Amino acid sequence: MFEATKVGRSVSKEAFKAQRDELRTQLLEAQRELQESGTAVVVVVAGVEAAGKGEVVNRLNEWLDTRGVQTFAFWERSDEEMERPRYWRFWRAMPPRGEISILFGGWYLSPIEHRFRGLCDDAALDAEIARIVDFERMLTHDGVLIVKFWFHLSEQDQKRRLKELSRDDRSRWKMLPEKSKFSEQYQHFEHVAERVIRQSDRGIAPWYLIEAEDTRYRDLTVGKTLLQAIRARMGQQIPMEPPTPADPLDLPESPSAKITLLDQLDMSLKLSRGDYKEQLKNLQQEINELTWEAYKQRRSTVLVFEGVDAGGKGGAIRRITSAVDARLYRTIPVAAPTDEEKAHHYLWRFWRHIPRAGHMIIYDRSWYGRVLVERVEGFASDAEWRRAYSEINEFEEELVENGAILLKFWLQVSADEQLRRFQDREDTPYKRYKITDEDWRNREKSPEYKAAVNEMVARTSTEHAPWTLVEGDDKPYARIKVLSTVCDAMREALRGKKKAASGTGVVRCGDALPVDDG
């Protein structure tokens, strides 16, 4: 694979100067087109050590308008990054639409080094690359242009470069003696890199292999390739792959054939006032103790509340938060996205709120809006909400793999009870803010929402993140069911019956600390 990067390509000083200024002008024009089109660009800069990746990035920042460019180097993970899933740091680096992010190594740096050092096997590496491919596909479908450069040197050229760098007092390499391992085991590193590139080279996010021996050739090739990729995107539609979920089942014309999971809930379930008060007191005391134990064990908790309008989400959330120390939790009410949030993938605003280890976050509405309100109201295209099921499952799996205790609740009430609560809100002054015209419109679309909820549960109630459906006509019963479910799940997780992936001693390819990416 890398033979084509060792043929001795070069560009003379005169040829470089003749092309440089025109290329820079064209890049600036393309950058302005990007801003107008709202296309985000992610440039991944990776390759063998001593190939001059830092020099290339400096050159791109020189040629581009840096007001629309951000550069990120993923070295040692910070304390706050260590307390969250690995991809959290990459989501934070995602550019808004119209801008460019340049990533040193990106999401490839750690898996390659991890495998190179023997900290995982080929199967674990392949699993991580499959996750990367899914991640890049998701970004591309959202309109992001991903341009990946791999810079390569022959073994002889790399040894010479490393020797030169070791003599340079200004070089950061003096601080990293372990760099010599890459030259000592050149063939092994090249083998790992080839495996990664081969499996992650896709038409929607291809790799560009760059010969890095001649710096002028290297820099011009990168600039021209980036320009070509941007221009190509401006002149074509976003590359798409068919969404995974099949079309909805074509159900027979019979009421009994159209029953959903929600229709099977027993809305007559009730709890006496006395039992409610007693159980509430005991459960709130337990959840207080469990949240402190989770804090000690550094296990984060993510609670997701969805449900019909007036289904009782707020009441259930308040029974939890009134029992938890305010320093340990945050409640995130999810409404229509802001302009900043619209400029990113829809999951971006949820990734940014992932709690630190030991803390709890409660989502009042969540990422499931993509397959519910956005689907029913037509805010998301058919392809967008169909793709969202697998994107959401992957997101939740990463949370759980990182040790999070993840619970999802759907609170349902009957049509009659919902109508009664709507009318009560209209008649009670301090409750009127809860009722809007949109609530009444949503009520008229109850069949469509039921079908959407049924498919949502079918496609996203997984072993690591199951849904809990709550019968909500009786508020005391619903609240106790929620609290009991939270306590049971936290108790089981904290007693070790359901260990966190990060605490089992299992090594996942990609969790190794990355090296400096000079």
45 and 116 co-located in one domain = yes
Residue 228 lies in a domain: yes
48 and 150 in a single domain? The answer is: yes
Q: Which residues of 108-128 are buried (b: 16+ CB within 10 A; e: fewer)?
A: bbbbbbbbbeebbeeebbbeb
Residue 502, pLDDT > 60, answer no
Domain that holds residue 439: 291-496
Per-residue pLDDT tens over the stretch 311-345: 999 999 999 999 999 999 999 999 999 999 999 99
Q: Are residues 223 and 295 in the same domain?
A: no
Using a 10 angstrom Cβ sphere, with 0-12 exposed, 13-18 middle and 19 or more buried, the burial of residue 335 is exposed
Q: How high does pLDDT run on average in the chain?
A: 90
Task: Indicate whether 98 and 219 sit together in one domain.
Answer: yes
pLDDT of 9 reads 94
Give the model's pLDDT for residue 169: 60
Instruction: Kindly report the backbone phi and psi dihedral angles of residue 142, in degrees, each rounded to the nearest multiple of 5, phi listed first.
Output: -85, 0
Give residue 174's pLDDT band: very low, low, confident or very high (50, 70, 90).
very low
- Looking at the fold, whether 198 and 335 belong to one and the same domain comes out as no
Q: Is residue 239 part of a domain?
A: no
- What is the helix (H) or strand (E) element at residue 411, kind and residue range? strand 405-412
Contact 500, 88 (CB under 8 A): no
As a whole number of angstroms, the distance between CA 517 and CA 108 comes to 12
Structure confidence by residue, pLDDT tens digits, 248-278: 666 566 555 557 889 999 999 999 999 999 9
Per residue in 135-153, is it b (16+ CB within 10 Å) or e — as a string? bbbbbbbbebbbbbbbbbb
Q: Answer yes or no: is 165 within a domain.
A: yes
Q: What share of the chain is helix, strand, coil (3-state, %, to 5)?
A: 55, 10, 30
Is 295 in the same domain as 197? no
Higher-confidence residue of 410 and 243: namely 410
Query: Which of 111-120, 202-211, 392-401, 503-512 shows the lowest mean pLDDT across its residues?
Result: 503-512
> Tell me, what's the pLDDT at 259?
77
Last residue of a domain, one of 200, 218, 234: 234
322 found inside a domain: yes
Which pLDDT does position 72 carry in this prediction?
96
311 and 230 both lie in a single domain: no
Query: Last residue of a domain, which of 189, 209, 234?
Result: 234
Q: What is the mean pLDDT of residues 226-239?
A: 86
Average pLDDT of the residues in 106-125: 94
Position 369 in a domain: yes
The pLDDT of residue 441: 80
Q: Is 95 domain-assigned?
A: yes
Task: With cut-offs at 50, 70 and 90, classify the pLDDT of residue 16.
Answer: very high
Q: What is the CATH number of the domain that holds 305?
A: 3.40.50.300
Match 């449900």 to its residue by tokens.
Answer: 307
Residue by residue, DSSP assigns 201-231 as: -BTTB-EEEEE-SSHHHHHHHHHHHHHHHHH
Q: Which of 234, 262, 278 is the last residue of a domain?
A: 234
* Residue 410 in this model has a pLDDT that exceeds 90: yes
State the pLDDT confidence band at 506, using cuts at 50, 70 and 90: very low
Residues of the chain with pLDDT > 90, as a percent, come to: 76
Answer yes or no: do 309 and 425 share one domain: yes
Same structural domain, 209 and 325? no
Would residue 31 be called left, alpha or beta, if left means φ above 0 and alpha means ψ between -120 and 50 degrees?
alpha
pLDDT of 223 > 80? The answer is yes
Is 254 part of a structural domain of the chain?
Answer: no
pLDDT over 70 (residue 172)? no
Q: Domain count for the chain, please give it.
A: 2
> Quick one: average pLDDT of 426-451?
84
**pLDDT tens digits for range 59-74:** 999 999 999 999 999 9
Nearest by Cα to 409 from 516, 302, 287, 256:
302
Whether residue 504 is predicted with pLDDT greater than 50 in this model: the reply is no
340 and 456 part of one domain: yes
Whether 373 and 472 have beta carbons less than 8 Å apart is answered as no
- Whether residues 64 and 182 share a domain: the answer is yes
In a domain, 283, yes or no: no
> pTM, whole model, 2 decimals?
0.88
